[in-house]
Structure 1
């Protein structure tokens, strides 16, 4: 939150505050006679100093990440990960087109390209996005800037660079803009290259290396009532290691187009958007740190449209009507390996012409009811259709042979059974929300929200038909080493979430405390049931499970405490402030009370910040409790508690910004509670079993950004 009187409020971003910020920037009243306008923002302007993954930007807003590749970690909100979180890049949703979700939406944009971002955990208005139960992350790179001149000319530019000692990581970014009072053209690019990192013991964490580049070019034109923006994007990732997956990424090439149109009328505003995104994705092996031979390929395309009409009903209320369409098509096949009896002679068709279509209609009402009450209420109807064509195994002739020999489960027989089923599924979803903000007094407020949200199964959850050990272990974005089988009969997840946040601040705004509690009851939560176990060795520690996606009921709940305070202000020593937060999340299956997978344990963070002149300094301490509540179906590992100390310093001049960060200052060894297991390490030495993926050791990170 950013208060015009005091920037300290920018640190307190409760879920409901972010809801309010993302929708209306509401007016909060100090009392019945005195009006104070508070602008509430869930975003921050990027100075292009951050490079690489957007993870560093979003963690400050309460987003956790499930470890994957260096550019592809999966966001976690309120204990829910993957595509349970709606991620919008420039207003559009991009589907992860990979059986391991190696190319999630956030991987298609570099931090230096992001101009604004917001996070709405759990409680979100229906206009923020559908087909999710965890919340919404929205990152935006489209921000046209114009000049006052009628002639098209130079507007601004920047170059940025960063070096990390831990992984010899090198990142560069650049941008340039030319503009007039009517036209604006903007280019932004980024390149990242890193080796595998070392843990706190100085040991190499295998298969964590990567290389990536992102480019975007946008053009905008406007007049006094309307604006049109077109953005072209391109990404090339020639390789990216995934330590906790059996496969690696050996190519990800994508192209995208976003067109946005806005027009204002006397009492209304029209917004329209068209998005197209295409990706060619390949998996295999490229490094001696994890070897093998098995090509996998995916071609996918997203097409979506949005049409929004916002009507001002009076000075204090407005109505939003909107329609959305999203179509995704995917082909996922595994080319035959010449000379291999198991992987040939035919291509393995995992998903053949898979389709997922969403059509949504929504209405949302917002009003400042009086000097103390603000309301947001909405309803969203969504139709989701999924389908796929017939599939094939590597060797259809193996079905009868395996059946006669009573050997391992037969993929050939599974393909035949799958093709004999009706595969088209249609789900009708209804989302609804009611959100209130009540100003109790000049210094405290109460926020209450209740939502019903739905997510339909993705194509891999429904249509991953293989049953053999090799085929099933190619499916899954959980990093656990287990195998997964799809389930055509899966129902959509439906979450009913209640959240309340109480905030109190000092009269002089020198401190602020916020407490949030939430609970989410999820019907038909998509989890797993065990099918069988397998083991590639004779060691019990090497056992993994084959699991089938299934619906069950689950409950998640949590509490969050945030505080910020001014400690000292003087001309000589500058401004000193304290930030602190505590987060605790729990999740369980209702049928067995077993913990859900990858729920982060209790965590706290304290930061002392100083700003004096052109310098900003920070000392941050993070503590994460031991993880003892684990998912036994997925053979999830327990992890020990750990603490990390980080030190940062930044200096800014008119055009130049330079920073030095030391992360994990004490070089502590720790295991990532959301990291999954190190399959790369397991393949190097199977005698140690499936160990948890280790976190990064100490790193000195140098960065600079120069604007011109």
Structure 2
């Protein structure tokens, strides 16, 4: 571990600690965590290596960050949560751009599109994210991207990496490899990946329902630069085959996804630089409820969906003086969605559920930063407009079911053009009050427009945008945008061998979008005819969240280091004493790491408290406390060969994470409606060669 002093654009940034961090649910991993302070918005950057990514995605690395947890709806369907907010409220960028999934239940969330690329890292803003982080960042911002500066090299070189990983459970294996050709002016790289698992088992040695997955991917990228500019591009192809999502009504049959990126960064003069980005993605997605779980033929459903997205951004950074900078930017994003539901086993059903959904976003921002000797100030504002539209829908049973015909007619004759305008504002202040001690004050007002599923779900269906509570939902064309008024207070202490941080936050959210029992006569009648309970209709309410986070890193010798962090979050509605749904329970994690020469080893223990503050409206049940212990060890040879062995859940604990989804697979080891179990003891083996 070392203390780094970096100067970027005249701002003294102290990268205080480079430490091995380990995840909560897998064996301790060597993930270097760099917390950057001394700038107006403290943030954490977590470099990732393919050899340390033991999960199918990066959910384990995220769970090491204070205040960040992960909702799991399946082995490839992870939704990060920060301070009680998740899903669309916490956007995740992949290589500096959004990935618009096709699944209306977030079956293919952005995190599932992040691949083990060279120089990959997670960027996470602690507290209130600045307006430059993006639009609709109600809960903040997470970004999985490459440090592309590391892909260039001083001299021409050809290098590569091959990583082979396997576990003792269900023939699970994750393999990846990449090759890179580069010099000081250009690079070209190719990465390939294959991941699969046949089954997973819990601490009771029972198969976790539909814990299988399989997918493969390829990434091509290149870059060129000279003294004035840098041009870069990427193309990614991801093919997911049969994969389980036991917390949702269907499983993944296939996902064929492509995303692409291009950027130009140019130094206009000594004081001005320009960044231009262009990005997009396409997803073709099929999901069904009969191929991988028992379902009567008359209730078999196949949902064929697709999404397209195209966007771009332009940002200008200007140095006004030695102590201040100004950043301006404009962004646009256009997304399209379609969804058709059929019964391929009987051939008597077709529902045009979402027909040419359009959601367009236009946004511009300005952000000013001032840096003095003992304090830094950053203020910004962002104006955003969101426009949404939907075409007419249909249902093959409308002729025989008047209530269904009524829903179709009502939706098709309604005014489906929606628009939302709002302005975000943030203030981030950092000051030094004594030797090694800092204080932080973050305040902001952030907004988020309703997603298309909350507006345009005209038929009561289990489309919850990733809530995975097992209930049916109905859209609402009268929804308002959410407004989050945030306040964050923090302290930090740093010296050569020790770092401590703590933050206290409060969030007051007006027009929070939440399901309420439907008062819609037609929709309720259709639900009862389908044998379902009264659906929940999306409504605006007021809510608040509060909590605290703390972290400690101590390098007590050159070989030994210690890390601890914990978080507590509470969230409730304002109109009645009702907790918000699926809030992470209090948690605490400690890790110890030893490293000498090519050897390293570590251990981690995590304690998760019981969660009794649950939402009765969404039939949420309390969860019990549990603890997990993980171990790992590795040796790296001088020729680039690395061998790692690790054990997660060492004591084979049978536990149910409060953020695990609710099982919806019949005839499984867990009854329908009960929370899914986590994995039991798992031995991981990794062999990696870097040349």
Instruction: Give the TM-score normalised by structure 2.
Output: 0.90
Is residue 382 of structure 2 the alignment partner of residue 380 of structure 1?
A: yes
Is residue 505 of structure 2 the alignment partner of residue 518 of structure 1?
A: yes
- Contact residue 249 and residue 289 of structure 2 kept, 8 A: no
Once the two structures are TM-superposed, the CA of residue 148 in structure 1 deviates from its matched residue by 4.2
1:9-45 deviations in whole A, cap 9, x for unaligned? 34699xxxxxxx99x97569xxxxxxxxxx9762233
Once the two structures are TM-superposed, the CA of residue 255 in structure 1 deviates from its matched residue by 1.4
- Contact residue 87 and residue 465 of structure 2 kept, 8 A: no
Match runs of 1:364-443 below 5 Å: 364-368=367-371, 370-400=372-402, 410-443=403-436
Where 1:60 maps in the other structure, the secondary structure is coil
Counterparts of 1:45 and 1:581, CA distance in 2: 19
Is residue 20 of structure 2 the alignment partner of residue 9 of structure 1?
A: no
Once the two structures are TM-superposed, the CA of residue 698 in structure 1 deviates from its matched residue by 0.5
Is residue 139 of structure 2 the alignment partner of residue 156 of structure 1?
A: no
Which of 302, 308, 312 matches 1:305?
312
Where 1:398 maps in the other structure, the secondary structure is coil
- Contact residue 382 and residue 425 of structure 2 kept, 8 A: yes
Which of 490, 497, 504 matches 1:501?
490
Equivalenced residues, count: 656
Is residue 73 of structure 2 the alignment partner of residue 71 of structure 1?
A: no
Counterparts of 1:40 and 1:379, CA distance in 2: 18
Is residue 559 of structure 2 the alignment partner of residue 566 of structure 1?
A: no
Match runs of 1:535-546 below 5 Å: 546=535
Is residue 680 of structure 2 the alignment partner of residue 693 of structure 1?
A: no
Counterparts of 1:355 and 1:294, CA distance in 2: 25
Which of 277, 284, 307 matches 2:281?
277
Once the two structures are TM-superposed, the CA of residue 700 in structure 1 deviates from its matched residue by 0.4
Once the two structures are TM-superposed, the CA of residue 373 in structure 1 deviates from its matched residue by 1.0
Match runs of 1:639-654 below 5 Å: 639-654=623-638
Once the two structures are TM-superposed, the CA of residue 141 in structure 1 deviates from its matched residue by 3.1
Once the two structures are TM-superposed, the CA of residue 566 in structure 1 deviates from its matched residue by 3.1
Is residue 129 of structure 2 the alignment partner of residue 118 of structure 1?
A: no
Counterparts of 2:592 and 2:500, CA distance in 1: 16
* Aligned residue in 1 for 2:339: 332
Counterparts of 2:685 and 2:250, CA distance in 1: 32
Counterparts of 2:47 and 2:533, CA distance in 1: 45
Where 2:48 maps in the other structure, the secondary structure is coil
Which region of structure 1 is more displaced relative to structure 2, 557-566 or 269-278? 557-566
- Contact residue 336 and residue 356 of structure 2 kept, 8 A: yes
* Aligned residue in 1 for 2:141: 136
Instruction: Give the TM-score normalised by structure 1.
Output: 0.88
* Aligned residue in 1 for 2:177: 174
* Aligned residue in 2 for 1:489: 478
Which of 146, 152, 159 matches 1:146?
152
Where 1:417 maps in the other structure, the secondary structure is helix
Counterparts of 2:161 and 2:421, CA distance in 1: 47
Counterparts of 1:3 and 1:535, CA distance in 2: 63
Which of 623, 638, 656 matches 1:671?
656
- Contact residue 508 and residue 543 of structure 2 kept, 8 A: yes
- Contact residue 603 and residue 624 of structure 1 kept, 8 A: yes
- Contact residue 248 and residue 284 of structure 1 kept, 8 A: yes
Give structure 2 stretches of 5+ with no counterpart.
6-13, 22-33
* Aligned residue in 2 for 1:109: 114
1:358-377 deviations in whole A, cap 9, x for unaligned? 00010000110x21110110
* Aligned residue in 2 for 1:549: 538
Counterparts of 2:77 and 2:323, CA distance in 1: 42
Counterparts of 2:526 and 2:555, CA distance in 1: 57
Once the two structures are TM-superposed, the CA of residue 311 in structure 1 deviates from its matched residue by 0.4
Instruction: Indicate how the Cα distance of structure 1 residues 583 and 219 shifts in structure 2: closer, same or farther if over 3 A, else same.
Output: same
Instruction: Indicate how the Cα distance of structure 1 residues 311 and 288 shifts in structure 2: closer, same or farther if over 3 A, else same.
Output: closer
Counterparts of 1:436 and 1:247, CA distance in 2: 46
Once the two structures are TM-superposed, the CA of residue 653 in structure 1 deviates from its matched residue by 2.6
Match runs of 1:42-121 below 5 Å: 42-51=44-53, 52-62=56-66, 63-112=68-117, 115-121=120-126
Instruction: Indicate how the Cα distance of structure 1 residues 473 and 307 shifts in structure 2: closer, same or farther if over 3 A, else same.
Output: same
Instruction: Indicate how the Cα distance of structure 1 residues 535 and 166 shifts in structure 2: closer, same or farther if over 3 A, else same.
Output: farther
Counterparts of 2:206 and 2:330, CA distance in 1: 52
1:273-296 deviations in whole A, cap 9, x for unaligned? 000211101111475455563111
Counterparts of 2:555 and 2:669, CA distance in 1: 52
Instruction: Indicate how the Cα distance of structure 1 residues 25 and 88 shifts in structure 2: closer, same or farther if over 3 A, else same.
Output: same
Instruction: Indicate how the Cα distance of structure 1 residues 289 and 697 shifts in structure 2: closer, same or farther if over 3 A, else same.
Output: farther
- Contact residue 511 and residue 540 of structure 2 kept, 8 A: yes
Counterparts of 2:669 and 2:112, CA distance in 1: 31
- Contact residue 57 and residue 111 of structure 1 kept, 8 A: no
Which region of structure 1 is more displaced relative to structure 2, 384-393 or 181-190? 181-190
Which of 452, 456, 465 matches 2:445?
452
* Aligned residue in 2 for 1:705: 688
Counterparts of 2:94 and 2:39, CA distance in 1: 28
Instruction: Indicate how the Cα distance of structure 1 residues 534 and 189 shifts in structure 2: closer, same or farther if over 3 A, else same.
Output: farther
Counterparts of 2:105 and 2:39, CA distance in 1: 44
Instruction: Indicate how the Cα distance of structure 1 residues 590 and 689 shifts in structure 2: closer, same or farther if over 3 A, else same.
Output: same
**Over aligned residue pairs, what C-alpha RMSD do you find?**
2.6
Once the two structures are TM-superposed, the CA of residue 237 in structure 1 deviates from its matched residue by 0.1
Instruction: Indicate how the Cα distance of structure 1 residues 288 and 47 shifts in structure 2: closer, same or farther if over 3 A, else same.
Output: closer
Counterparts of 1:10 and 1:518, CA distance in 2: 26
Counterparts of 2:89 and 2:154, CA distance in 1: 44
Counterparts of 1:393 and 1:274, CA distance in 2: 38
Is residue 462 of structure 2 the alignment partner of residue 465 of structure 1?
A: no
Where 1:9 maps in the other structure, the secondary structure is strand
- Contact residue 199 and residue 695 of structure 1 kept, 8 A: yes
- Contact residue 121 and residue 136 of structure 1 kept, 8 A: no
Is residue 613 of structure 2 the alignment partner of residue 629 of structure 1?
A: yes
Counterparts of 1:367 and 1:588, CA distance in 2: 37
Is residue 528 of structure 2 the alignment partner of residue 528 of structure 1?
A: no
